[in-house]
C-alpha cells in the first residue's frame, strides 16, 4: 500500500469530520448575525416559488456590514416610499361654484375665528349635522387655535384667507407669499395638515396670488352668493339673499368675524333649516 493511500474506513472518518467542521463554522456565522442558531428552511414542494432573493449558501459574500447597519438595512430596504401631494395647476380665475350630484350647496364663513360669533355658528351647524368651510385669517387663528381645532374636529374645511386681510393686488409678491405662507404654516402646525383652499380678501385676486397659492398646494375658491352680511343689513335681508340664490353648486359667502356678526349668526339659524327642508345637501368640496 502506498503512503498517500488510506484505507476506505479511514477516508470515511475524515470526510465525516470535515462535514461536521463546516456545519459548526456556518452555525457560528449565523449566531453572530442573528443572535440565535439558524434553522434550515424545509424543502419547497415541487413547482412552488422559491424564497425571496437574497444571499445563498455558497454564493460570493458581499461586503461585511456593521451590526447596526445590518439591523437598519431591512427598515430602509422595505419602507414604503413617501409621496407628496401633486400641486394644483396655476389658475387664471377662482372657482365660483362647486360641482356635485343633486342639490348640493356650500356654506362658507370668512375672517374668523372670532370667540364671540364663531362658537354660535359652530353650534348651529352641529345641531343640523352640516359641514361648512371657514376661511380663516392667520392673526385671528393664532389667538383662537382652540376654535380652529373645533372646526376641524367637526369635519369643517379650514381654508386660508391670508394673515392680516390685506388687498392682495397692492402687495409685492414676497408679501403675498408671507401672508399666505404664514397662515398655511399656522394651520398645519395646529391641525396637522395644510389648507387645500384659499380665498383672497375682498375677492381681489391677481396672477401672483394664483401662482403662490398653487405653490402652497391650494386651490382658489370665491363664491356664488354674497349675503352682504358685512354691511349689517339686518337678519331678514341676509336670509332672503341666501334662499333666493340657492341652487346646485352654489357657494354662499358669510362672515363670522370682522365686525358685529350677530345678524349673520341669527340668519344662519333661520335659513339653514329651510335649505335642508327644501332638499338641499349642504356639503364641502373634496380634493
> Between the CA atoms of 241, 245, 248 and 253, what dihedral angle is there, to the nearest 10 degrees?
-50
3-state SS, residue 37: coil
Q: Which of 25, 37, 33, 26 is nearest to 70 (CA)?
A: 33
Q: In terms of DSSP H, where are the helices of 118-255?
A: 118-127, 138-141, 145-153, 173-191, 207-215, 235-245
3-state SS, residue 251: strand
- As given in the structure block, the three cell numbers for residue 18 are 470535515
| 161 is an active site residue | no
Catalytic pick among 111, 255, 256, 281: 255
Catalytic pick among 110, 111, 114, 256: 110
**Phi–psi pair at 230, nearest 5 degrees:** -65, -20
- As given in the structure block, the three cell numbers for residue 278 are 327644501
Give dist(CA 95, CA 224) in Å, integer. Answer: 9
Give dist(CA 96, CA 285) in Å, integer. Answer: 12
Q: Which residue has the cell 453572530?
A: 32
| 255 is an active site residue | yes
Half-sphere exposure of 146 (CA within 13 A, CB side): 2
The residues that are catalytic are: 110, 255
Amino acid at each position: 500500500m502506498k503512503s498517500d493511500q488510506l484505507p476506505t474506513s479511514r477516508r470515511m472518518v475524515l470526510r465525516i469530520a470535515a462535514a461536521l467542521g463546516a456545519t459548526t463554522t456556518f452555525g457560528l456565522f449565523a449566531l453572530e448575525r442573528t443572535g440565535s442558531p439558524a434553522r434550515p428552511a424545509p424543502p419547497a414542494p415541487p413547482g412552488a416559488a422559491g424564497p425571496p432573493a437574497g444571499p445563498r449558501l455558497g454564493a460570493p459574500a458581499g461586503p461585511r456590514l456593521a451590526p447596526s447597519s445590518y439591523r437598519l438595512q431591512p427598515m430602509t430596504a422595505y419602507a414604503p416610499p413617501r409621496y407628496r401631494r401633486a400641486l394644483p395647476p396655476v389658475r387664471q380665475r377662482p372657482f365660483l361654484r362647486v360641482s356635485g350630484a343633486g342639490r348640493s350647496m356650500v356654506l362658507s364663513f370668512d375672517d374668523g375665528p372670532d370667540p364671540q360669533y364663531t362658537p354660535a355658528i359652530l353650534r348651529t351647524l352641529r345641531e343640523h349635522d352640516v359641514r361648512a368651510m371657514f376661511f380663516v385669517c392667520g392673526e385671528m387663528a393664532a389667538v383662537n387655535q382652540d376654535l380652529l381645532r373645533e372646526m376641524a374636529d367637526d369635519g369643517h374645511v379650514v381654508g386660508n384667507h391670508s394673515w392680516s386681510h390685506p388687498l392682495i393686488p397692492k402687495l409685492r409678491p414676497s408679501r403675498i407669499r408671507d401672508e399666505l405662507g404664514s397662515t398655511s404654516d399656522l394651520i398645519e402646525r395646529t391641525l396637522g395638515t395644510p389648507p387645500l383652499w384659499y380665498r383672497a380678501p375682498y375677492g381681489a385676486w391677481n396672477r401672483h396670488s394664483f401662482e403662490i397659492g398653487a405653490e402652497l398646494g391650494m386651490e382658489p375658491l370665491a363664491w356664488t352668493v354674497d349675503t352682504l352680511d358685512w354691511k349689517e343689513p339686518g337678519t331678514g335681508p341676509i336670509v332672503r339673499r341666501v334662499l333666493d340664490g340657492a341652487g346646485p353648486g352654489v357657494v354662499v359667502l358669510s362672515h363670522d368675524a370682522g365686525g358685529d356678526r350677530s345678524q349673520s349668526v341669527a340668519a344662519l339659524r333661520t335659513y339653514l333649516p329651510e335649505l335642508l327642508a327644501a332638499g338641499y345637501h349642504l356639503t364641502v368640496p373634496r380634493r
